[in-house]
């Protein structure tokens, strides 16, 4: 197999939200910290320190289950504005090494470091420098994978967490990948994992040795996809302008809510969260989607496409509010969860439409001022009156 240059890094912050909380409050160091809904709530775990993970606590787990597994866990409500602020610092470190940075989320990104050898050394050297700067400047820990393509780099970053640093060269790829479970292949979720095991494929090595024709005959397009990954084939390139599909926020309520006034009041902080994240990422979206989960777990989504892309909190809120009133069937119903997503994202300012509307300019200046105050003074520095109205 021909040698391939190492030039891709995948950097993944370890237990990011929880790590930020511990950094900001050193009294939490060494303790099982769980970021998410309260222990006796119907919320979910967003992040957990490795002390909590030792008890089996995992992201996306119901908070009540996490509390049963780890009774001594310290539950903390998430601070998205704070995580956005720290994420920008992390991404700034990445971009100080290369402009080719593709964020996947607030806490992970791909870096293409081809061509920076004279400045910073080869790819493994850059990876070590990135880790060191994150630790020294931000007081946080990252795991880094280094390889010749994006799939292998991402897989490598996950192999020795936390505080991992793994380099996988093409000539050692089979030795490193073959023993790993098929669930490590992109696109293989729990259901696909079961399907592959029934077909006799338990490890990446099993998939690689099966050969392209056999995989396609047995599994169709899925077989072609996982076969290519098992052979270390990934032709994607790092795209510095991340094309995220959506930005969303949702909340599960302690008790079912009913009444449009109460539900609309809960929509506003969701719209604020979505708007602030869009502005932080310098994107705007044309479609607003509302998610409603009823008391019996029946879940619906309703969406509306706007004339122009928006990142304005008021516009996001008013659109979601209209969907709730007109199309969600929420009047008189008991609601368990509400969520808002901003979809069809594009760089902020793209498109003509209402770009020069003076009212929208004022709205943007207001949102920017609120974002700045909250980043400096905390989430409660500015509170919209609507969220404080009595039921």
Angle between helix 313-326 and 358-377 (nearest 10):
100
> CA-to-CA distance for 371 and 79, rounded, in angstroms?
13
The dihedrals phi and psi of 351, each to the nearest 5 degrees, come to 85, 155
Residue among 92, 79, 106 at smallest CA distance from 138? 92
Backbone angles phi, psi at 160, to 5 degrees: -130, 35
Q: Yes or no: say if 146 and 159 are a contact pair by the CB < 8 Å rule.
A: no
Q: In what order do the strands lie in the sheet with 108-112?
A: 101-105, 108-112, 8-13, 142-147, 165-167
> In the chain, where do the E strands start and end?
8-13, 33-36, 45-48, 74-76, 101-105, 108-112, 142-147, 165-167, 246-257, 283-294, 299-310, 335-347
Helix (H, G, I), strand (E, B) or coil at 227: helix
Residues pairing with 109 in the sheet: 11, 103
- The residue from 108, 272, 315, 363 that is catalytic is 108
**Among 314, 316, 309, 306, which Cα is nearest to 365's?**
314
Please say whether the beta carbons of 306 and 352 come within 8 A.
Answer: no
Distances (CA, A) of 178 to 182, 184, 370: 9, 11, 51
Decide if 85 is catalytic: no
Query: Which residue has tokens 């060269």?
Result: 169
Residue 233 DSSP SS3? coil
Closest CA to 49 of 72, 25, 24, 31: 31
* CA distance readout (Å), 356 to 170, 308, 349, 364, 377: 52, 11, 10, 12, 31
Any residues with CB less than 8 A from the CB of 13 and at least 6 apart, and which? Answer: 19, 90, 107, 108, 134, 140, 141, 142
Catalytic residues: 108
């Amino acid at each position: 197999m021909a040698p391939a240059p190492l030039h891709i890094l995948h950097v993944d912050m370890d237990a990011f939200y929880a790590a930020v909380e511990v950094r900001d409050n050193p009294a939490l160091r060494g303790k099982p910290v769980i970021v998410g809904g309260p222990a006796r709530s119907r919320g979910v775990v967003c992040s957990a320190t490795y002390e909590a993970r030792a008890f089996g606590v995992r992201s996306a787990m119901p908070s009540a289950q996490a509390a049963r597994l780890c009774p001594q866990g310290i539950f903390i409500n998430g601070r998205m504005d704070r995580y956005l602020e720290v994420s920008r610092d992390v991404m700034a470190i990445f971009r100080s090494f290369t402009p080719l940075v593709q964020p996947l989320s607030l806490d992970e990104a791909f870096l293409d470091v081809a061509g920076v050898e004279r400045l910073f050394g080869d790819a493994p050297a850059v990876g070590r420098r990135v880790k060191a700067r994150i630790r020294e400047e931000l007081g946080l820990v990252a795991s880094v994978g280094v390889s010749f393509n994006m799939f292998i780099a991402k897989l490598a970053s996950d192999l020795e967490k936390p505080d991992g640093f793994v380099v996988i060269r093409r000539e050692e790829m089979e030795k490193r990948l073959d023993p790993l479970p098929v669930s490590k292949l992109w696109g293989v979720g729990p259901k696909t994992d079961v399907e592959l095991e029934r077909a006799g494929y338990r490890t990446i090595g099993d998939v690689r040795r099966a050969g392209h024709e056999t995989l396609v005959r047995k599994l169709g397009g899925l077989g072609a996809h996982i076969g290519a990954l098992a052979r270390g084939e990934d032709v994607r390139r790092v795209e510095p302008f991340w094309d995220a599909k959506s930005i969303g926020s949702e909340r599960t309520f302690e008790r079912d809510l009913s009444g449009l006034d109460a539900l609309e009041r809960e929509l506003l902080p969701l719209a604020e969260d979505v708007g602030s994240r869009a502005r932080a990422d310098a994107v705007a979206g044309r479609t607003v989607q509302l998610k409603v989960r009823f008391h019996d777990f029946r879940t619906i989504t309703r969406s509306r496409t706007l004339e122009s892309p928006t990142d304005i909190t008021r516009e996001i809120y008013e659109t979601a509010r209209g969907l709730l009133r007109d199309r969600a069937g929420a009047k008189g119903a008991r609601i368990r969860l509400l969520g808002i997503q901003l979809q069809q994202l594009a760089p902020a300012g793209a498109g003509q439409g209402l770009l020069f509307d003076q009212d929208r300019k004022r709205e943007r200046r207001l949102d920017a001022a609120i974002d700045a105050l909250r980043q400096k003074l905390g989430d409660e520095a500015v509170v919209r009156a609507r969220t404080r109205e009595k039921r």
